[in-house]
Copies of this chain bind each other. A is one copy, B any other.
Amino acid sequence: MNSNTLHITADAIVEMEKRFRVNFINGLPGFKSLNLVGTICPLGQANLSIVSTVTHFGSDPPLLGYVSRPETEGAVRHTLSNLTETGVYTINHVGRSFYREAHQTSARYPREVSEFDATGLRPIWREGFRPPFVEASAIQMHLTLRDRIDIPANGTVLVLGQVTDVFCREDLLGADGDLDLMRAGTVTGSGLDGYFEAHKLARLSYAKPDEPVREID
């Protein structure tokens, strides 16, 4: 850090204009995963919602969580009510070729409008699965809802699901189980609205106290 280091205090954060604060705080985690959550309501209406909070909670069983705002109108709330009612949903990586359409799913469409129709993203209806997958997505998952965990600090809901099935291109899965997200065209996000592609620096060996890390692959 140099002499141009800003110290942004708790008071300064409180006093920020609302939109400024939302942009700023959303940048603090660093780069984020970007996924489309696909659901269906009991009457058959498909819903699609972009989320930037899908997080690994465990590998055995395979658990992913994401953060939902219960009070919000629009796609996010429809997604939460759909997956709560049906108990199932899909998570689909956002790719370079369709990140604009993915972003557009965050618009507040009325409940009777499917984000698939509104954005032109095409669903796949797979036999044996209830919610829609996103055809353009290189890595698609089906999950069953494991838990809805209320976050007392601000009323959000942590949606925790177990991955039951994964669909991906054969060339993306490495011999050691590693998924090649760069080859998949998966994008990453910053803040509320920044979209980035990733370029590999290295894979690093399992760290041990008395060995320097080395590049693998």
Chain A residues in contact with chain B, CB under 8 A? Answer: 1-2, 4-10, 13, 16, 18-35, 52-65, 67, 91, 93-94, 96, 99-100, 103-110, 113, 118, 124, 135, 138-141, 146-147, 149, 151-154, 156, 158, 160, 162-171, 173-174, 176-179, 181-182, 186-188, 190-209, 212-213, 216
Contacts of A29 in B (CB 8 A): 33, 35, 54-56, 64
Structural contact, A178 and B104, CB atoms closer than 8 A: no
Structural contact, B200 and A56, CB atoms closer than 8 A: no
Structural contact, A57 and B151, CB atoms closer than 8 A: yes
Q: Is the interface of A mostly helix, strand, loop or mixed?
A: mixed
| Residue from B6, B61, B207 within 8 A of A106 (CB atoms) | B207
Structural contact, B171 and A28, CB atoms closer than 8 A: no
Structural contact, B31 and A179, CB atoms closer than 8 A: no
Name, among A55, A103, A177, the residue most crowded by chain B CB atoms within 10 Å (CB to CB): A177
Contacts of A194 in B (CB 8 A): 178, 181, 200, 202-203
| Residue from B33, B57, B196 within 8 A of A154 (CB atoms) | B57
Contacts of A93 in B (CB 8 A): 30
29 A–B pairs (Cβ distance < 8 Å), ordered by A: A2-B169, A4-B170, A6-B169, A6-B170, A8-B165, A8-B166, A20-B177, A23-B179, A25-B59, A29-B64, A30-B94, A31-B33, A31-B181, A53-B55, A55-B55, A55-B67, A57-B151, A63-B151, A63-B154, A100-B202, A103-B207, A103-B213, A105-B207, A107-B207, A110-B209, A193-B203, A194-B203, A195-B201, A197-B201
Q: Give the Cβ gap from A2 to chain B, nearest Cβ, in Å.
A: 7
